[in-house]
Amino acid sequence: MILRGEPFEHVVRDVEYEREEDQRPDVWEIVDDAQHPLTHNNLRLIQDLYSQGYSFTIHSPYSGLNIADLDDSRRRESLTRLKKSIESAARIEAKALVLHPGMKARDQTISQRLNEESIITLYDYAESFGIILALENMNPNTQYFMIEPSEFEEFFERNSIRLRMTFDLGHAHIGSLEKNFVSRLSDKFMIIHAHDNNGAKDEHLGIGDGSIDWESITTQLNETNFRGIYIVESFEKPYESVARLKEMLGPV
């Protein structure tokens, strides 16, 4: 569950708010970026929630960052910021940290190599803190790496690390890739980002308000026996979306 556009104190209030059982997230995702960076004070608030028994994943920062940047100093700055996010995740024993891959450059061969090197560097750093790194598939309308299932398969063939995936269902739907991802890579999934769109752009609609075939995709996911974490990323009607998703997934 993520929230945006609110002061961090309001996010804390939303987490603690008593709501109906079917609308209550089991895990909350904190986006360490934009309005909700894990500053000392914000992290202290999350630590207080963690001590009360709330569970979290952390979405690492991404604004202005590029782990495949051809410029060494900018790439190092990106890695430094992401390592700080890993350290914050460790302080609340986050269940995982979501990572965006790097972006393609004019020399795609070099930027791809830098992307993979940076992912491995961050994977090793996260592992040293006991944090699971979960690499996200990206929106096909962007210049990011890791959009197609084949990119993940080729990465795993070249690199023998136990990297996990954040499967973003909304991103995959834009390229009509959702069923392909599930059939080929579900064994790598740690987190599923659930939100809807109409297949053209990343709208983060409420579940059932776009063109994703939720009955088909949840049936396919249930058949894989996925037991990871679902994070609702609907900007509209988020708690109703939590309830809809729980109903479609059924008892686990």
Residue 74, domain extent: 8-249
DSSP string, the chain: ----SS-HHHHHHHHH----GGG--SSEEEE-STT----HHHHHHHHHHHHTT--EEEEPP-TT--TT-SSHHHHHHHHHHHHHHHHHHHHTT-S-EEE---B--SSHHHHHHHHHHHHHHHHHHHHHTT--EEEEP--TTSSBS--SHHHHHHHHHH-----EEEEEHHHHHHTT-HHHHHHHHGGGEEEEEE-B--SSS---BPTTSSS--HHHHHHHHHHTT--SEEEE--SSSHHHHHHHHHHHH---
pLDDT in tens, 206-245: 999 999 999 999 999 999 999 999 999 999 889 999 999 9
Q: Spell out the residues 6+ positions from residue 31 whose beta carbon is closer than 8 angstroms to its own.
A: 2, 4, 59
Is there a domain that residue 203 lies in? yes
Rg (CA), the chain: 17
Task: For residues 239 and 20, give the distance between their C-alpha atoms in angstroms, rounded to a whole number.
Answer: 9
Q: Are 66 and 79 in contact (CB under 8 A)?
A: no
CATH number where 159 lies: 3.20.20.150
- Answer whether residue 227 is part of any domain: yes
CB half-sphere exposure, 50, CA atoms < 13 A: 19
Whether residue 2 lies inside any domain: the answer is no
Block residue for tokens 């974490």: 229
pTM of the model: 0.96
User: Domain for residue 83, yes or no?
Assistant: yes
Cβ within 8 Å of residue 116, ≥6 positions away: 155, 158, 159
Query: Does 3 reside within a domain?
Result: no
pLDDT digits (tens, 9 = 90+) for 170-215: 999 999 999 999 999 999 999 999 999 999 999 999 999 999 999 9
Residue 229 lies inside a defined structural domain of this protein: yes
Q: Is residue 1, in this structure, part of any structural domain at all?
A: no
pLDDT digits (tens, 9 = 90+) for 35-72: 899 999 999 999 999 999 999 999 999 999 999 999 99
Specify the number of domains making up the chain: 1
Percent of the chain exceeding pLDDT 90 equals 92
Query: What pLDDT score was predicted for residue 4?
Result: 63
